[in-house]
Structure 1
């Protein structure tokens, strides 16, 4: 072993190559050229004086030394990541460009409000936020270089890590002139007799609603669904027009509630609560602006 100090960046590159299974995939994830990735792994091998990876035309395999180094490299990556998250709240002079994605409800209704406070605190940070569905978010984080994604359900995709970043609650929402609008709470039996306007099947909002109602013995077929829409905005407009009632995130209702157009009503004994998750590649290290943003989202969402 040489006397050169151990390079944590090289450990991160080695870990990413091992996790991704190829130099080209690691280069894409790390925003590096493939020759640069290869050179850094070779430098790490020279430092330890042993081969860490066996390169064949068909696949990449860890040597015995590589298998021994991998958990240590993982610890180093996790330590760097945790340190950035811990220190993010103390950094006042952040600069850089954030690239991430968010699901429809979160991207359209939640993050714009919370991002305003973040960008006022860090005016040298710019944000590029894409709004897409969960499947597209996972693909974009894996292959398009996004720092992270914000989704409405846990993620169990191999190679990804998901951490809760904020809480959300869904509530029954009724138009201002509906009889239910005079109540703060209404029974479930009364609700399921009403016409309903819902988000499309497969949406995070629809999934949470169906799962909670099922827990209370209500099947989807028992609901009087008169219309389904692919956006929360369309659902709110339909409810406001008197087409039916709906169940939506309270994050999405703030404007209409303040104007007195819609009224959220609690369903007795029913709680549509969920967590919103930040997802990223396990092999990635968030840039400081990204770590700071996720910290701010956790803090700001609790203050709303």
Structure 2
């Protein structure tokens, strides 16, 4: 019997998940099949790798020694898929992903067309939801991966930056600052502000940058908190306040003269968008290809 990656992947998933049943669910296998593959790996090495009890699975000394090699093998396969995806043009299949609100509503729709021209046989099913919902569906194996607007910390999740973005100050067209080519953050803070709800990726980035300038976000004159970028734009257009949104989300309103974007001279609200997926999961090659597309293309030509 030869050592193979499939067995290492199964062993790693059992150890990470803490049970054969959870690993079977994650790998879309039956529990007896998972058990058999782990036993075959133990037979190959001639030693026990897992200590089984009614409540939990623990690593033996040999199993603990094997874990970093199993993890590296998974990472190597991912890197291999990523490299080889550049040479593949006849991919087929359905790609399921989740995207947080700004990404799903304003960023990805402009990128799916160019991606579809390069890979016409891949169909994409995208759910637009908040970060917590995306993580829940990934953990429940309902989505391959997600794209989110702010970093998260979860022991089962792999996270990687895939795109960059910048928030811009927006004001209604009749606002006193509308004709200013550039303003300071102190000037902005003199006016009412409309923001996304607490916990949104957009708001977290804005608040973090303000703190970096020793400005307490609680000092803002927040007149309204809204649950979507579309609602924020409508409120600004109606003259209820100023706000900070992704530049890609207001191109239409700016072109129509309904909203103005203004540069702030002494602060920049730059951020990264991230992909997240299970550490123990191997993404389908179609997903790897899509993520490589986002990381390696000049996306600004479409945004």
The interval holding the TM-score normalised by the smaller chain is over 0.9
Find the residue that maps to 1:141 and give its secondary structure: helix
Q: Is the 8 A contact 2:170 2:242 kept in 1?
A: yes
Q: 1:252 aligns with which of 242, 249, 252?
A: 249
Query: What is the aligned partner in structure 1 of residue 158 from structure 2?
Result: 161
Aligned to 1:62: 59
Tell me how far 1:151 sits from its aligned partner. Answer: 1.2
Matches within 5 A, 1:54-203: 54-203=51-200
**Which secondary structure state, in structure 2, belongs to the residue aligned with residue 260 of structure 1?**
coil
Matches of 1:189 and 1:66, distance apart in 2: 58
Superposed displacement of residue 239, structure 1: 0.9
Aligned to 1:280: 277
Q: Does 1:236 align with 2:233?
A: yes
Match runs of 1:26-37 below 5 Å = 26-37=23-34
Which residue in 1 is equivalent to 2:299?
301
Q: Partners of 1:35 and 1:301 in 2: how far apart?
A: 46
Cα 1:6–1:115, aligned 2, differ >3 Å: closer, same or farther? same
Equivalent position to 1:11, from 8, 21, 27: 8
Alignment of structure 1 residues 35-46 onto 2, 5 Å: 35-46=32-43
- The CA deviation string for residues 112-147 of structure 1, in whole angstroms up to 9 with x for no partner, is 111221122212111121122112222211113421
Deviates more, 1:241-250 or 1:35-44: 35-44
CA distance in 2, matches of 1:224, 1:62: 54
* Equivalent residues of 1:13, 1:37 under 8 A apart: yes
Question: Contact (CA 8 Å) 1:23, 1:34: kept in 2 or not?
Answer: yes
Name 1:218's counterpart in structure 2.
215
Per the normalisation by structure 1, the TM-score is 0.94
Aligned to 2:90, the other structure's residue is in SS state coil
Offset at residue 9 of structure 1 (A): 1.1
CA–CA distance in structure 1, aligned partners of residues 178 and 84 of structure 2: 46
Name the count of aligned residue pairs.
Answer: 301
| 1:72–1:218 CA distance, 2 compared to 1 (3 A) | closer
* Alpha-carbon distance, 1:300 to partner: 4.3
Retained in 2: the 8 A contact 1:192–1:223? yes
Residue 65 of structure 2 aligns to a residue in which SS?
helix
- The offset of 1:91, in angstroms, is 1.0
Contact 1:152 1:276 in 2 (8 A): yes
Aligned-pair CA distance for 1:294:
0.5
- Residue 52 (structure 1) aligned with residue 49 (structure 2): yes
> For structure 2, which runs of at least 5 residues remain unmatched after alignment?
none
Residue 218 of structure 1: how far off its partner (Å) = 2.6
3-state DSSP of counterpart to 2:169: strand
Contact map agreement 1:26 1:37 (CA 8 A) in 2 = yes
Distance 1:266 1:36, change over 3 A: same
Segments of 5+ residues of structure 1 without an aligned counterpart are none
Q: Distance in 2 between matches of 1:149 and 1:127?
A: 13
More divergent stretch after superposition (78-87 vs 124-133): 124-133
> Do 1:29 and 1:145's aligned partners in 2 also have CA atoms closer than 8 Å?
no
